[in-house]
Amino acid sequence: MSHDNHDPLDHPEVKIASARGYFIGYAFAAAMMFISLGLVRSHAMSPAGLATTITLIALVAVLAQLYFLFKLDLSESQIWHTVAFAFTVPLFVMAVGLTLWMFHTLAARTMLPGMGM
Amino acid sequence: MLVNLQGPWDPIFGRLGLILQYQYNNPVIFFAFELSLVGGAIALFWLTCAGKWRTLWSDWLTTVDHKKIGVMYIIVGLVMLFRGFFDAVMIRTQQAMAVGASSPGFMGAAHGYLPPYHLDQVFTAHGMIMILLAVTPILVGIMNIVVPLQIGARDMAYPYLNALGLWLTVSAAALVMISLFVGDFSHAGWVGLIPLTELPYSPGVGVDYWIWSIQIGSVGTTLGAVNLIATIIKMRAPGMTWGRVPVFSWTTLATNIIALTSFPVLGVTLALLTFDRYLGTHFFTASLGGDLMMYTNLFWIWGHPEVYFVVLPAFGMISEIVPTFSQKTLFGYVTMVVASMAIAAVSWSVWLHHFFTMGAGPNVNAYFSIATMLVGIPTGVKVFNWLFTMYRGRLRFDTPMLWAIGTIFLLISGGMTGMMLAVPAINYIVHNSVFVIAHFHNMFLLVAYAAFAGVTFWFPKVFGFKLDERLGKRFFWSFTLGSIMVFIPMYILGFMGMTRRLDYISHPAWYPLILAELVGVGFYAVSVFFFLAQVVVSIRNRHDLRVGADAWGTSRSLEWGTHSPVPFYNFAVTPMVHARDEWAWRRENKLDSLKPDHYVDIHMPKNTMVPLILGMLSLVLGFALIWRIWWLAGLSFLAIIVAIVVRSFEKDTGYIIPAAEVAAMEQDYLDRAREVESAGEKVGGGAVGGGVPAASRAPWNKLKGD
């Protein structure tokens, strides 16, 4: 549009894309998912331990996806990626953190003690 | 893998055998069917007789012009607004007919004329349509039209993606309309009350219609959000620093950050529900590790930001309209921008107030209560800024200004009742009552008021002529009477303990107030008539209603610095921005000539039919998934992938308009503008010589004409 050059491959946003990065991101996300699935299917831990472990694995998977698939990092050259990355953190803390807090109190107040979770 | 289904299933026709079980002798549905059939036939007949098929195809269906896409978004929104209004009429008439044990029943209903199962579908469709397929497309349409013009861009950052967003929204709307005649719609409320949406409780296809239409539409909205954010960040005209971006574009940025971050949550939530219904997982069931509350939680993590997604553009439009008709700059630009961003930020931490009563601890409720009340601070800042803008301004009460002032009134009343609901103690009392309904209709009406303000305000920019003022004012007043008569009784009924979603009113003492609401709906019906009359009369009188570049004479931002109607390339040469209120600055410095010293080549995107094809394919995909016709779903999904891949290899997506051709087209526009100017006492400012000086636009001159 307002650019004079219309070859998409010349855009810096496109240039930083790499097939290797996407493949690693995908493989990593898939691996994390299969590990979680395996843990759940084999009942490897107590329900509470399982929930915690899966939550941690999910966190790792999210970070890997942000880096490998969305190319979000703290570089100076891609300032809008840095902004997006910095913006992800409070959103993540709010959405996931507040949800955890709320479900924790909900479980404490409404679930019978000793029934798991 | 797949869940065992009740009822018929066939490898070729999927669950379509189910439709034999639905009753098609219902006069209500038959009326709707006839209405759309006759309407559609008339439209097709007119298109053929007037020879408009080619125009329709090349000017509209395959266009990537942001203004035309915006207009189509608004038309889809208005059609769905009308459909949603019909649903509202049915709800109100049903309740008015079903008061007391002796109220008669018709057409299979014990009371009134809608059996509970049908009424449940009606209010589900009403809510879902009004929020996702009426208000959202109208706002997205206005953002689409106005933002590139305000920031001096030629088009959106991704014109092709823009068209795709439109056609996905259209196919979502089409799915909902199809559900009216083929099968049924969800009966579980627009929020998808869990576990009602689970397969054992809703074995039909209604919930699937609801899921897939929202899912397809929200993909469109997310793409639109990406596009608008990229446009505002990357495509501002030279000189337009962040401190000079018009407030509407700022609120659009805030809005679309919300959309981009919240709509994926909705997508995931509905996907999990889809897994429950199709694959037999247990994310939201009470058994096998599922959690009912998780659905409500996830839904509102999207749902509350969505409230600010619709309200922030409304604030932006008011911030453009109030200064224009107060003939002053906006008071407190910086605080306005900060307030918009603050609302966007806080929008992410308030969602739990939608389920204060579910059993969370006092600390949790207190936290979310305080977070909710925090929204009142930036909103209050905004209201005061508008009031200070009006203070000692030369106020003119053209139709957009009336709608804008109505918006401020509704914001104050809706905000106050919102503050009440933010107190958990009050919430425990009025929870699930029609008080809540009145509150959020109050807020959505605010958005509708602002949208009507915006449409009337920017209409002359897009089409080159104004909407009829007299009928516009009648539309405003009848709509306002309707709002007062429907929602004040509803607030009162809420305090009296009337719960929401009733198909039968057991308490005869509520009857007078329910009748008052019915009268209000009557006023709304009158307002629909005035709206249609306004459009028809304005189109008929379009020659007399023509305007110059600055349609209102006192406009302030950059979009008024190009011709009305806007050429498809927006600006003949990319404008250089000098001030926050660029057009007002140019008018004051007599730099408002639209004739540049020389013309340059313009690069424009080519029309493409791929977005239309993708939209239609996703409609087929949605329909196939709803009826579980797997071969068709697989085929259309494959076709979507193929179309995307083929399009991505298309290198030749733009073309150049040579400078000479631009000069010729510009000359036509300048001639037209001169003609409008010389026609004498036309409403609005000139295009060639610039805007009318503010002094001659004093309010008493204006009022004499009305």
**pLDDT tens by residue, A64-107:** 888 888 888 787 777 888 888 888 888 888 888 999 899 888 88
Identity of the residue numbered B523: F
Helix (H) or strand (E) holding B603: strand B602-605
- Give the mutation candidate from B234, B299, B300, B570 for the A interface (greatest A CB count, under 10 A): B234
pLDDT of B369 reads 95
This prediction's pTM: 0.92
Distance from CA of A102 to the nearest CA of B (A): 6
Give the closest of B154, B233, B349 to A1, CB-based.
Answer: B154
- Give the mutation candidate from B351, B370, B602, B653 for the A interface (greatest A CB count, under 10 A): B351
Q: Is B461 on the interface with A (CB under 8 A)?
A: no
Give the closest of B235, B294, B364 to A101, CB-based.
Answer: B364
Contact B252, B287 (CB under 8 A): no
Helix (H) or strand (E) holding B656: strand B654-657
Q: Whole-angstrom Cα distance, residue A8 to residue A23? A: 21
Q: Quickly count helices (H) and strands (E) in chain B.
A: 22, 2
- Chain-centre distance for alpha carbon A27: 14
Residue B91: Cβ-neighbour burial (10 angstroms; 0-12, 13-18, 19+): buried
**Residues 6+ away with beta carbon under 8 Å from B510:** B99, B493, B496, B498
Give the closest of A94, A98, A109 to B361, CB-based.
Answer: A109
- Contact across the interface for A80 and B358, Cβ inside 8 Å: no
- Contact across the interface for B155 and A1, Cβ inside 8 Å: yes
Q: Is A5 on the interface with B (CB under 8 A)?
A: no
Q: Is B39 on the interface with A (CB under 8 A)?
A: no
Residue of B nearest to A9 (CA): B651
Distance from CA of A24 to the nearest CA of B (A): 22
Count other Cβ atoms within 10 Å, centred on residue B101: 9
Low-confidence ranges of chain B (pLDDT < 50): 682-706
- Contact across the interface for A94 and B348, Cβ inside 8 Å: yes
pLDDT of B691 reads 40
Q: Is B349 on the interface with A (CB under 8 A)?
A: yes
Give the closest of A91, A105, A106 to B348, CB-based.
Answer: A91
Cβ neighbours of A108 in B, within 8 Å:
361
3-state DSSP percent of chain B in helix, strand and coil, to 5: 70, 5, 30
- Chain-centre distance for alpha carbon B651: 34
Cβ neighbours of A6 in B, within 8 Å:
603, 653-654
Distance from CA of A94 to the nearest CA of B (A): 6
Residue of A nearest to B291 (CA): A103
- Give the mutation candidate from A41, A98, A101, A105 for the B interface (greatest B CB count, under 10 A): A98
Distance from CA of A77 to the nearest CA of B (A): 15
Q: Whole-angstrom Cα distance, residue B414 to residue B445? A: 9
Distance from CA of B595 to the nearest CA of A (A): 21
Selected residues 25-84 of chain A with any CB under 8 Å from a CB in chain B: 80
Q: What is the CA radius of gyration of chain A?
A: 20
Residue of B nearest to A88 (CA): B261
Cβ neighbours of B352 in A, within 8 Å:
98, 102
- CA-nearest of B88, B69, B150, B61 to B448 is B88
Instruction: Give the sign of the dihedral formed by CA B183, CA B184, CA B190, CA B195.
Output: negative
A-B C-beta contacts closer than 8 Å: 55
pLDDT of A13 reads 67
Neighbouring C-alpha atoms within 13 Å toward the C-beta of B664:
5
- CA-nearest of B69, B673, B702 to B401 is B702
Whether the pLDDT of residue A8 is over 80: the answer is: no
Q: Is A95 on the interface with B (CB under 8 A)?
A: yes
Cβ neighbours of A103 in B, within 8 Å:
291, 293-294, 297
Q: Is B370 on the interface with A (CB under 8 A)?
A: no
Distance from CA of B153 to the nearest CA of A (A): 8
Count other Cβ atoms within 10 Å, centred on residue B102: 7
Cβ neighbours of A80 in B, within 8 Å:
233
Longest dimension (CA), chain A: 67
Identity of the residue numbered B537: V
- Contact across the interface for B297 and A103, Cβ inside 8 Å: yes
**Residues 6+ away with beta carbon under 8 Å from B42:** none
Cβ neighbours of B568 in A, within 8 Å:
none
Q: Is A9 on the interface with B (CB under 8 A)?
A: no
Contact B81, B130 (CB under 8 A): yes
Residue of B nearest to A106 (CA): B360
Q: Whole-angstrom Cα distance, residue B520 to residue A68? A: 56
Selected residues 160-189 of chain B with any CB under 8 Å from a CB in chain A: none
- Contact across the interface for B361 and A103, Cβ inside 8 Å: no
pLDDT of B704 reads 38
Residue of A nearest to B156 (CA): A1
Q: For tokens 């698939």, what's the residue?
A: A69
Contact B557, B522 (CB under 8 A): no
Q: Whole-angstrom Cα distance, residue B144 to residue B252? A: 10
